[in-house]
Structure 1
Amino acid sequence: MVSFLSMERPAVEVFQYKDKEQSSNLLLQLNRLRQEKILTDVLLCADNTEIPCHRNVLVSSSPYFRAMFCNNFMERYKTKINLKGVTFAILSRVIDYVYTGLISISMDIVLPLMQAASMLQYGRLFEACSSFLQEQMSPDNCLSMIRLSEIMNCNSLRDRAKAMAMKSFSDVSASEDLCELSLPELMGYLEDDSLCAEEEQVFETLVSWIHHDPISRRGAISDLFKRVRLRYIHPTYLFQFIANDPLIQSSTLCTELIESVRRLMFSVSTKCTGDKAVDLEPLWVAPRRYTYHDMLVVMGGRKNNEQTSREALVFDESSQKWQRLAKLPMRLYKASYVALHSVLYVIGGLTTNTKYRQVSTAVYTLSLKTNQWRTAEPMLEPRFAHQSVSYLHFIFVLGGLGPDRQVTGSVERYNSMFNQWESMAPMPEAVLYPAVAATNQRIYVFGGEDATQNPVRIIQVYHISRNMWSKMENRTVKNVSAPAAVLDDKIYIIGGYTRRMIAYDTKANRFIKCANLKDRRMHHSATVLNNKLYITGGRYINGHDVIEDSDNFECYDPKTDTWSPKGTLPYKLFDHGSLTMASVSQTWAKSQDIM
């Protein structure tokens, strides 16, 4: 007779069964035994109140109790253990957690609960308290949380609180807690590259800290002032506000540092010279804090070939989306656009808001910090269709058309240190729509067209420190309405009624051919962002020799000599500005994305 089992499939030799409810049921039963005081063999006491427990459960749950009951300590032989440093209310919650795995954490008990978890070596409970505190963290209390983390020796809480303090330093610096920091602690923040603050804020913070206890802290001014990265402070703020601060004036070293910066800027040089300037060099070359982000801003121009635009857009590279900034107060046709000290300048142009068009001397500024437009000191001469370029603390305005609509070669310079304009040596040859770039104490003006709208094949070079021009003919140059941008010691001239892009090596005085554009482009704009060249909008000549407006947005990588698309602008645009601006705060980020 064949057995029943033999008719089935061959039996598995081992069947591994796992009861998923066994561990939770066991814990549940042990808790019931504890509550009914069955087989409990030790009493934990706090505030003269006893809690019956099982030694084996305590030993299994904590290294603290394992050491107490499994080594030759006197507690091993006692049936009643007095625990000091913990209240009955907290101890009872901890024991409930040991037997159930559940506990309610609130602000009124989190600190004594955390202390008890640390003492009794319940690591996961300790980290649960840390997580709870991290959820309650804000810029107002993160410095207090750091203090607490040091007392509790809690790395996770300290790291999170420190990160918030660094990220929200503008808010943290206004808190009373910051004034309680020690000098080494404050120095640690101010010298950290990841501090999310503008240098003006760094200076104001150290002043507030000193004023909190001026008698004992006044002597720290020079050490703290060295942590301010003077190179990235607006000259007006540095020389009109900081230089006149009584604390700074009381320190010989601080005043010498400021004077070194002043001499450096006046010399229009990037190298430190002179005996007193030696101390400045390591401070001057200190890198920009890497919480600054370079943002691509597109401004003004002719929108959808309908009217001059008041729009200002910023491109968020992380989300690959465009967002709106505050609108320019005035429509300005063929104004110029330039960035200096994280401020956007819109200079001159032809007003289109009024019945009679007027050539303007007006200058409007926009700070990404406030996202608000202001008027600045006007130019000396009204002009439009001109070029502007920044270098160190200067803005140079070159050429364009005056009120008589005649091409001018005049040049004027804005000194941001003194907030004033001054006339400079005129260009040797007045041209419209050249490619302009500044590098190595020189401004290069490539090509353009003359008063009869004929392209000119010349390079005009302005020596900034000497206020002198030189001119040389070059058959390679033939560009009109083409932007120029400086990248890796080369000046890139992009298009200009052609697909060609060439790079001018200023040191070798030679041109290098680069990858062509897809279309014959003009009236577009270019800027450098993260060591790449970004081209926006413009006009192009299609296959039927018809000029069309463009919403093109593309990027050139000089390392690979290749172009890649970056999507499109929100609308077609030409004769606009495309700029790179550094920012810490992003006040515009609250506005809705455009696309």
Structure 2
Amino acid sequence: MIGMRQMTELRMDQNPKPNMGAFLYRDPDQGSYLLMQLNLLRLDQVLTDVLLCADNTEIPCHRAVLASSSPYFTAMFCRHFRESQQDKVGLKGISSSILSAIVDYVYTGTISISLDIVLPLMQAASMLQYARLFEACSYFLQEQLSPDNCLSMIRLSEILHCRSLKDKAREMAVQNFSDVSASEDLCEMSLPELMGYLEDDGLCAEEEQVFETLLAWIHHDPFSRRGSISDLFTKVRLRYIHPTYLFQFIASDPLIQSSTLCTELIESVRRLMFSVSTKCGSDLKPLWMTPRRYTCQETLVLVGGRKNNEQTSREALLFDERTQRWQWLAKLPLRLYKASYVCIHSILYVLGGLTMNTKHRVVSTAVYTLSLKTNQWRTAEPMIQPRFAHQSVSYLHFIFVLGGLGPDRQVCDTVERYNSMFNQWEIMAPMPTAVLHPATAANDQRIYLFGGEDAMQNPVRMTQVYHIGRNMWSKMESRTVKNVSAPAGVIDDKIYIIGGYTRRVIAYDTKANRFIKCENMKERRMHHAATVLNKKLYVTGGRFINGHDVIEDSDSFECYDPKTDTWTSKGTLPYKLFDHGSLSMVCVSNKSNPP
């Protein structure tokens, strides 16, 4: 018989051999457990071998723990300094309460940071080289930042040599410059500091406010600062300042008049505007060509029109690109049928139209304006002639109003121009041929009218061109042009004509004087609107002819990219809309990011 031991050995031999490799065990709680035990030893003064002293207070500690927690103590206890042999080590410039809090932090990994202790704690953390504690204090101060204290925080960060706090505080100052510019702290800045803000592309402020800020800074200490006016003035982006403000307020300021460079720059701008040219001289070009600050966002605004085919709308909507949602703006003061819409100097203009909220419908000369900054409608200088179903276009500091229907309901050929520098209207040369609903655009000192229809509602196959500087018209017949009630937009010297009782999209190259065929729209569209944002065409609403030749209203919202010659849907409008205005407006936003 086989013995028991032999049977056991036989069974083991028959089983696979176990894995003889090592088992690596990691205790996730070992670090915190060790720290807790060390702290208990410290509190019981077991194995403590050094006393940290401050304000006649002695705190027992372990050299090994201190040396392992900070480069400061590593050097003190491990590099033959005299403190390595001393039982007591005095730390000057640190209060006993702060030192005690830091020692507790070393042994427990926790500390309570409050406004009462954050500054001395931060200074002590810097001195004792506790970098993580120093940054924790910085984070606490960053959470307390506001437009009221951010400039003071920058001063504090410089004293403490805290880069993270300085960067965050400056970011807040840039994004909230409208509030910060009114503070006393700003007036205490040095010239290089102020220059740094004014030349920042991310500064969240209108250029008018940039100018007012530099004036306030100089007037705070005029005797020593007035000589800086020329350097500061070159940081103001003159191209984006309203001409009235520039030529009436800025040009007449005594500080500006005292500087030859400033007066020469303003005079160069004046000559540029009076020449009706977009080309500037070498003295002005570097300043004039400076782009908008990237906090100045282009945004899409829709206004007026016929809503849901029911009535003329008073609504004004803004499309928020970040949230992809529509926001309601202040409503138009009254309902206007077939008014025209244009934007200049970041102000929306609604011109003329047929009033719809009176018993007797009146063809209007009224002009209403809306600023996104105030979100309030105001009345402006009225047009010379009442009209509706007309076209409007802006160019430099001018608004041109062309054609339309007068009080007698006859198609008119008259043209008038609004000069925003002088706030006045004047009659210009009439159109060669009176047309309704042409595609209208301005580019390189010219206004182009493509197609439209005559008084008998017959399509006009013609392009009419107005030379702004010469106040002269020319026209040319074209079989390519056959649009009615189509919008147009300009991108890189090409005028895009979108639909108009057709699906066609064509681009007129103003330099090569030729038409280019583009990708068609999905439906035959008319009475829609289009505007250019970031070199793309955004087309909204209108009316379309469906597959059964029935006219329907549209709530479509589409985008055309000339680079790829493609259309993409942006969703839908909040309601069906046609005969409305669609405009690109610039607003200052502190939420934008650099391109």
Aligned counterpart for 1:76 among listed residues 74, 80, 84 = 84
**1:476-498, CA deviations, whole angstroms, 9 ceiling, x for partnerless residues?**
11110000110111000010101
1:5 Cα shift?
Answer: 8.1
Residue 67 of structure 2 aligns with which residue? 59
Indicate conservation of the 8 Å contact 2:500/2:525, yes or no: yes
Please tell me whether residue 482 in structure 1 is matched to residue 490 in structure 2.
no
- The residue type equivalent to 2:55 in the other structure is D
- CA deviations 1:152-174 (Å, max 9, x no partner) are 11111111111111111111111
1:355-390 Cα deviation digits (max 9, x unpaired)? 110000000000111111111000000000000000
Partner of 1:465: 469
Output the amino acid matched with 1:76.
Answer: S
Query: Matches of 1:5 and 1:313 in 2, distance apart?
Result: 84
Structure 1 distance, partners of 2:180, 2:506, is 48
Any residues of structure 2 matched to 1:263-278 within 5 Å, and which? 263-273=271-281, 278=282
Q: Distance in 2 between matches of 1:170 and 1:260?
A: 29
Match of 1:447 in 2: 451
CA distance in structure 2 between the aligned counterparts of 1:379 and 1:564, rounded to whole angstroms: 38
CA offsets, 1:492-538, max 9 Å, x none? Answer: 00101011110001111110010111000000000111111110000
Give secondary structure in 2 for the equivalent of 1:279. coil
1:491: which partner in 2? 495
Instruction: State the partner residue of 1:119.
Output: 127
Q: Residue in 1 aligned with 2:439?
A: 435
Out of 279, 287, 290, the residue aligned to residue 286 of structure 1 is: 290
Shift of 1:212: 1.1
Structure 2 distance, partners of 1:555, 1:568, is 12
SS, match of residue 284 in structure 2:
helix
Deviates more, 1:317-326 or 1:571-580: 317-326
Q: Which residue of 2 aligns with 1:250?
A: 258
Paired AA for residue 101 in structure 1: G
> Sequence identity, in percent?
78
Does residue 34 in structure 1 map to residue 42 in structure 2? yes
1-side partners of 2:51 and 2:574: how far apart? 73
Tell me, in whole angstroms, the C-alpha distance in 1 between the residues paired with 2:286 and 2:584: 26
Residues 497 and 586 (structure 1 numbering): CA distance in 2 closer, same or farther, change over 3 Å?
farther
Where does residue 94 of structure 2 map in the other structure? 86
1:328 aligned residue: 332
Query: What are the equivalent positions in structure 2 for 1:148-227 lying under 5 Å apart?
Result: 148-227=156-235
Residue 24 of structure 1: how far off its partner (Å): 1.1
On the 8 A contact 1:540/1:547 being kept in 2, the answer is yes
2:553 equivalent to 1:549: yes
224-233 or 40-49, which deviates more: 40-49
Aligned partners of 1:269, 1:65: CA distance in 2, in Å? 70
1:279 deviates by 2.5
Aligned to 2:418: 414
Structure 1: which 5+ runs fail to align?
Answer: 588-595
How much has 1:213 moved relative to structure 2?
1.1
Q: 1:500-511 alignment to 2 at 5 Å?
A: 500-511=504-515
How many pairs were matched up? Answer: 583
Whether 1:134 aligns to 2:138 is no
What TM-score, normalized by structure 1, do the two folds share? 0.96
Q: Contact conserved, 1:369 with 1:586, CA < 8 A, in 2? A: no
SS at match of 2:31: helix
Q: C-alpha distance in 1, partners of 2:213/2:17?
A: 80
> What is the deviation of 1:77?
1.2
Unaligned runs of 5+ in 2: none
Quote the Cα distance in structure 2 between the aligned partners of 1:183 and 1:574: 53
8 Å CA contact 1:368–1:586 kept in 2: the answer is: no
Q: Give the structure 2 partner of residue 562 of structure 1.
A: 566
- 2:373 maps to 1:369: yes
Residue 396 (structure 2) aligns with: 392
SS of 1:315's equivalent in the other structure is strand
CA distance in 2, matches of 1:5, 1:241: 102
Name 1:592's counterpart in structure 2.
none
Distance 2:412 2:17 in 1: 100
| Worse-matched range after superposition: 359-368 or 28-37 | 28-37
Deviations 1:427-478 (A, max 9, x none): 0000000000000000000110011110111110000000000011111111
**CA offsets, 1:70-103, max 9 Å, x none?**
1021111111111112111111100010001110
2:54 to 46, 49, 72: 46
Determine helix, strand or coil for the equivalent of 2:283.
helix
Residue 16 of structure 1 corresponds to 24
Return structure 1 stretches of 4+ with deviation > 6 angstroms.
Answer: 3-9
Segment of structure 1 superposing worse, 241-250 or 442-451: 241-250
Displacement of 1:250 in angstroms is 2.1
Distance 1:337 1:506 in 2: 24
Q: Say if 2:301 is the partner of 1:297.
A: yes
Residues in 2 aligned to 1:9 and 1:142: alpha-carbon distance in whole angstroms: 70
* Cα distance in structure 2, aligned partners of 1:189 and 1:380: 44
Match of 2:586 among 576, 582, 585: 582
Separation in structure 2 between the aligned mates of residue 42 and residue 410 of structure 1, nearest angstrom: 96
Letter in 2 for 1:517: M
- Whole-angstrom CA distance in 1 between matches of 2:589 and 2:563: 31
**CA distance in structure 1 between the aligned counterparts of 2:258 and 2:20, rounded to whole angstroms:** 89
1:351 to 2:355 alignment: yes
Residues 77 and 564 of structure 1: CA distance in aligned 2, closer, same or farther (over 3 Å): same
Mapped to 2, the partners of 1:43 and 1:279 lie a distance apart of 71
Return the alpha-carbon distance in structure 2 between the equivalents of residues 27 and 496 of structure 1: 78
Structure 1 residue 32 displacement after superposition: 1.2
Cα offset, 1:245, TM superposition = 1.7
Name 1:423's counterpart in structure 2.
427
8 A contact 1:447–1:458 mirrored in 2: yes
Q: How much has 1:585 moved relative to structure 2?
A: 4.0
Which amino acid is the alignment partner of residue 343 of structure 2?
Answer: A
**Cα pair 1:139 1:164 within 8 Å, conserved:** yes
The answer (yes or no) to whether the contact 2:176–2:590 under 8 Å persists in 1 is no
Q: CA deviation at 1:246?
A: 2.0
CA–CA distance in structure 2, aligned partners of residues 9 and 327 of structure 1: 85
CA distance in structure 2 between the partners assigned to 1:586 and 1:309 by the alignment: 31
Contact 1:369 1:585 in 2 (8 A): no
Counterpart residue number, 2:108: 100
Deviations 1:94-142 (A, max 9, x none): 0010001110000011000000000101011001000000000001111
Q: In structure 2, how many angstroms separate the alpha carbons of the residues matched to 1:404 and 1:524?
A: 26
| Residue 9 of structure 1, CA deviation | 7.5
Segment of structure 1 superposing worse, 143-152 or 409-418: 143-152
Amino acid at match of 1:46: A
Tell me which amino acid in the other structure corresponds to 2:385.
E
Query: Partners in 1 of 2:21 and 2:574 — Cα distance?
Result: 69
Report deviation, 1:49. Answer: 1.5
1:252 shift after superposition: 2.1
Structure 2 Cα separation of the partners of residues 11 and 433 of structure 1: 88
Q: Deviation string for 1:54-82 (max 9, x for gaps)?
A: 00000010000001111021111111111
Are residues 195 and 5 of structure 1, via their aligned partners in 2, closer, same or farther at CA, if it must alter by over 3 Å? farther
Q: Which residue of 2 aligns with 1:401?
A: 405
**Greater CA drift, 52-61 or 314-323:** 314-323
Q: Which amino acid aligns with 2:161?
A: N
Distance 1:506 1:225 in 2: 36
